[in-house]
Amino acid sequence: MSTQLTLQAPLDVPPAEVYPYLDRLWNHGLEGTTGAATFTLLIWEPSWLEQQMVRIGRIEGPIRGLERDDLIEAARLITADCDLPFSTAPMDPRLAWKVGQLEGQLEAQDLRGQFIPNAISVHTPRRLITLVPTLDASQSLETMVAAYCPLPDEGGAGAACGDAIVLRGGMEALRQGLPLIQPLIDEALPCWVWWNSSLDEPPEMLEALAPLPRRLVIDTSLGQPARCLDVLVERIEAGQAVNDLNWLRLRSWRESLAMVFDPPSRRDALAHVVQLDIDVEGDHPVKGLLLTAWMADRLGWHLIDSSPAEEPGGINAEFQRTDGTTVRFRQMPVPVGLPKAHPGAIVGLRLICEPADRPALCVILCSESGGCMRLESGGMAAMELVEEVVPLPEENEEMEMARLLGGGHDTTNPLLASAAPLAATILPR
């Protein structure tokens, strides 16, 4: 996916001058256009890993804040140097912290907030506000402003449709700059807040940036599992429209499983599930639990009990079906040589159904890049076997985000809203 720079070179404007400058820009400098009546996108963009990797010279600058292939590749290579397991996902916040302990003082240009992915810019955000904390915690606040417009695919210049504002500085400076933000948000338009970082970061910033009724986008694969699920559930229960990129990345798993039961001849089996097994990468269980909770909610299962498995990182649970039968659930972390970018990716799923008067049905879904040997073993010879490979679309954060913006939903997805509290309950505390 190509990206584009802002239409004009971003202008350094003193913090106190940002609002007056924008007022002058739209009312005088860009006469004849009022800008797009779309939405404001407010992004928390620390890019800790990218900043640290540039600092120690493992990747080259400039720092752009976008998910980039060379960063993922370099992160996979440095895992061993950081004394972390091979299964550690490149975006795991622990890796960024470990890299932060390595020596290096290289500097690079910081262009965060100035690259707008095409996938997002086609939705013509009215205003992009990006907060970019620096590694130097004492750095003072800098503010930059630029008008921008997506470049049309087939020639022809478009009128300016929005503006991009960057607030850069150390954490303390950004905290002091928070009062600048509220006046920049047009209350007549929806405002999305993209928390593009770990949920373990100090909660005050998230609280300050994402009050109701702003629509929040988080990623529950980044941060302590309990903290991730708690934030998700609290926000949903507070009535906020919450989107979770980790949940969105489950799309192909949900779709593949639903496809297995699309033929009416198989649907009855769903009422007779007796066992569910899920394998996940590494030790982050949230994604697997969200998938389990979605299924349990859709199939009307009631959680009876959950506990840590004997094997480290595993989870056992028991559900009760509507007819009172027990469904056994087991989620296991499995080591992988080439982990996905985000922690806790699903490797495989096995569902065993035992309908009355019919042979048992075993459904195995495997990730495109992983094997399912553990799930394929053991006592299924007499069962009808349905085995599918789940495609993993090559989509990055920005494309997921663009899909959300294009969807325009102003409430939490009801499937997520139902699944999240159950997932939080399954997680042993």
Partner 1 sequence: MTTLLTNPLRVGLRQERVITPQCIVIFGASGDLTHRKLVPALFELFRQRRLPSEFAVLGCARRPWSDEEFRSKMGEALANEIADHPSAWEQFSQGLFYEPVDLQQADHLVRLGQRLEGIDRLRATRGNRTFYLSVSPEFYGSGCRALAAAGLLADAERSRVVIEKPFGRDYGSAQQLNKVVQACAKESQVFRIDHYLGKETVQNILVMRFANTIFEPIWNRNYIANVQITAAETVGVEDRAGYYESSGALRDMVQNHLTQILALTAMEPPGRFDAEAIRNEKAKVLQAARLANEDEPWKCCVRGQYSSGGSRARPLSGYRQEPGVNANSTTETYVAMKLFINNWRWQGVPFYLRTGKRLPKRLSEVVLTFRQAPVHLFDAAGGAPTPNQLILRIQPDEGAEIKFEVKAPGSGMRSRPVDMGFSYDDSFGEPSDEGYVRLLADAMLGDPTLYTRSDEVEAAWRLYTPLLELIEESPWQLPVHPYEARTWGPAAADSLLGDDGLGWRRP
327 SS3 class? strand
H-type alpha helices, 239-391: 245-248, 251-260, 264-267, 286-299, 373-376
φ, ψ for residue 73, nearest 5 deg: -65, -45
From CA 69, how far away is CA 50, in angstroms rounded?
A: 11
Under the criterion CB under 8 A, does residue 391 sit at the interface with partner 1? no
CA distance 36 to 126: 5
What is the contact mask toward partner 1 in residues 116 to 135, using x (rule: CB under 8 A)? --------------------
The smaller minimum CB distance to partner 1, of residues 270 and 286, is found at: 270
Q: Which stretch binds partner 1 (CB under 8 A): 73-81, 230-238, 292-300, 394-402?
A: 292-300
Tell which one of 69, 103, 262, 310 touches partner 1 (CB under 8 A): 262
Q: Of 193, 222, 413, 426, which lies in the binding site for partner 1, with binding defined by CB under 8 A?
A: 413
Q: Closer to partner 1 at the Cβ: 258 or 373?
A: 258
> How does strand 302-308 pair with strand 315-320?
antiparallel
Alpha-carbon distance 397 to 368, whole Å? Answer: 19
Of 24 and 358, CB closest to partner 1: 358
Query: Residues near 374 by Cβ (< 8 Å), separated by ≥ 6?
Result: 279, 332, 334, 348
* Contact window for partner 1 (CB under 8 A) among 11-19, 47-55, 68-76, 293-301: 293-301
Task: Fill in the per-residue mask, 299 to 328: x = in contact with partner 1 (CB under 8 A), - = not in contact.
Answer: x-----------------------------
Instruction: Count CB neighbours of 159 within 10 A.
Output: 12
Number of residues that bind partner 1 (CB under 8 A): 28
In the three-class reduction of DSSP (H, G, I as helix; E, B as strand; rest coil), residue 228 is classed as: helix
DSSP 3-state assignment of 208? helix
State the minimum distance, in angstroms, from the CB of residue 268 to partner 1.
5
Q: Which residues, at least 6 apart from 324, have a Cβ–Cβ distance to it below 8 Å?
A: none
> Least distance to partner 1 from the beta carbon of 76, Å?
31
Nearest-approach distance from CB 43 to partner 1, in angstroms: 21
How far is residue 314's CA from residue 308's CA, in Å, rounded to a whole number?
6
Binding mask 154-183 for partner 1 (x = CB under 8 A): ------------------------------
Backbone angles phi, psi at 16, to 5 degrees: -70, -15
Q: Should residue 406 be labelled a site residue for partner 1 when binding is judged by CB under 8 A?
A: yes
Instruction: Kindly tell me which residue out of 28, 378, 414, 429 binds partner 1, with binding defined by CB under 8 A.
Output: 414
* CB nearer partner 1, residue 227 or residue 298: 298
Of the pair 56, 363, the CB lying nearest partner 1 is at: 363
When the beta carbons of 111 and 353 are compared against partner 1, the nearer one is 353
Which range, of 53-61, 70-78, 256-264, 301-309, touches partner 1 by CB under 8 A? 256-264
Cβ-based neighbours of 284, under 8 Å, separated by 6 or more = 89, 92, 221, 225, 343, 344
In the shown chain, the binding pattern of residues 24 to 63 toward partner 1, with x for contact by CB under 8 A and - for none, equals -------------x--------------------------
* Minimum distance of partner 1 from residue 86's CB (angstroms): 33
Residues 185-224: x where in contact with partner 1 by CB under 8 A, - otherwise, as a string:
---x------------------------------------
- DSSP, collapsed to helix, strand or coil, labels residue 231 as helix
Q: Give 399 or 415: the residue with its C-beta nearer to partner 1.
A: 415
Angle between the 48-55 and 69-78 helix axes, to the nearest 10 degrees? Answer: 70
User: Cβ-count burial of 312 within 10 angstroms (0-12 exposed, 13-18 middle, 19+ buried)?
Assistant: exposed
Classify 344 in phi/psi space as left (phi over 0), alpha (psi -120 to 50) or beta.
left
Please report whether residue 270 would count as binding partner 1 according to CB under 8 A.
yes
- Binding region for partner 1 (CB under 8 A): 37, 188, 254-255, 257-258, 261-265, 267-268, 270, 295, 298-299, 355, 358, 406-411, 413-415
